Amino acid sequence: MRRRFRFGAVVREAGSAKAWAEKARRLEGSGFDVLLVPDHLVGSRLAPLPALTAAACATSKLRVGTLVLANDFRHPAVLAKELATLDLLSGGRLEVGIGTGWMAGDYTGAGLPLRPPGMRIERLREALAVLDGLWGEGPFSFDGAHYRISGLDQQPKPVQRPRPPLVIGAGGRRMLRLAAERADVVNIGTRVRPDGSGPDLADGGLRSFLDKLALLREAAGDRYARLELGTSVLQVGERKAEEPWSAADSAALDETPQVLLGTWYDMADKLRYWRDEHDMSYFVVHHERDLPAFETVAEDLAT
């Protein structure tokens, strides 16, 4: 069965509550399905959970989500409570994007230890189990290497059952396997360096992207048909200056769906190819500057 396209937009900031609400309402009226907020401690960005609550209150159909929460920033019991509350207040419109946390500047600035990638992934694996357990019915206990929960029964529960859709951003093999096992939606990205200094510039190009799709298909097994596959679109319409964290790397991604150049017809045709040939149907515009150029594409493919 042909998968339905969905489109998200990463929105980072606004100067006032009114301006933020206007951004959310504009997205809702222009073919986008989801407003997404990232989670970093440095840079000019709104905090994700209050920003998403405000966006949900300003709209009626637009879904809201994180791309993605850094697991290391919050204990999963606290996060479970906050997310369940947001799902309730939004009327069941929340999508929970979560990853390990990776950007060294966040950790250094806040005095947090940046643990090795393997430990961060294991912490995330345990955190996902805690989220699922606390969103279930009745008291929940958990005794892991990193988290311990003792007979905790949180209220409210999420409106969406058994949980809000879980989005995992993944670029490395271990994260892709975890996403294949646990996620409802996988956002395929570029692998980051273990020291958190930025993307691994050796991890780019069409072959690498296709290898990630193949790994997901193999690792997911019977779950594959239920997975929603997507990626972030870093360049739209014409090539623009790179953001510091991804400096000078988007040209290597030209053959992937992360770069969409040309007319709106060219972009729509490329996305149809990736959906029909590779099962990818959820695309996130990564920069607000690209939203006007992408609106026609979203409106055309969303119908």
- Output the six-digit token pair for 173: 């093999």
Strands 140-143 vs 148-152: parallel, antiparallel or unpaired: antiparallel
> Is 176 domain-assigned?
no
> Is 201 domain-assigned?
no
Cα(65)–Cα(87) distance, rounded to whole angstroms?
Answer: 10
Please count the other Cβ atoms lying within 10 Å of the Cβ belonging to residue 286.
23
Q: What is the pLDDT of residue 248?
A: 38
Q: What is the pLDDT of residue 226?
A: 95
CA dihedral sign of residues 231, 255, 299, 39: positive
Q: Per-residue pLDDT tens for 151-162?
A: 999 999 999 999
Cα(150)–Cα(65) distance, rounded to whole angstroms?
Answer: 29
> Is 25 domain-assigned?
yes
Q: Spell out a b/e string for 140-171, using b for 16 or more CB atoms within 10 Å of the CB, else e.
A: bebeeebeebeeeebeebbbbeebbbbbbbbb
DSSP for 37-100, written as a single string = E---SSSS---HHHHHHHHHHH-SS-EEEES-EEGGGS-HHHHHHHHHHHHHHTTS-EEEEEE-
Q: Are 234 and 283 in contact (CB under 8 A)?
A: no
**Tokens 């400096």 identify what position?**
247
> Is 122 domain-assigned?
yes
Number of domains comprising the chain: 1
Question: In the predicted model, what is the mean pLDDT of the chain?
Answer: 95
> Is 191 domain-assigned?
no
Q: Across-strand partners of 282?
A: 6, 230
At 285, which CATH number? 3.20.20.30
Domain that holds residue 99: 6-167+233-302
Q: Angle at CA 97, nearest 5°, toward 257 and 246?
A: 45
Q: What is the pLDDT of residue 247?
A: 42
> Is 50 domain-assigned?
yes
Q: What is the dihedral of CA 269, 270, 273, 279, to 10 degrees?
A: -120
CA distances from 127 to 99, 175, 197 (A): 10, 14, 24
Q: Are 83 and 134 in contact (CB under 8 A)?
A: no
CA distances from 259 to 130, 206, 241, 254, 272 (A): 36, 11, 13, 5, 14
CA distances from 224 to 9, 162, 184, 190 (A): 25, 19, 10, 21
| Residue ranges in the chain modelled with pLDDT below 50 | 247-248
> Is 225 domain-assigned?
no
> Is 21 domain-assigned?
yes
Q: What is the pLDDT of residue 244?
A: 53
Q: Which amino acid is at 276?
A: D
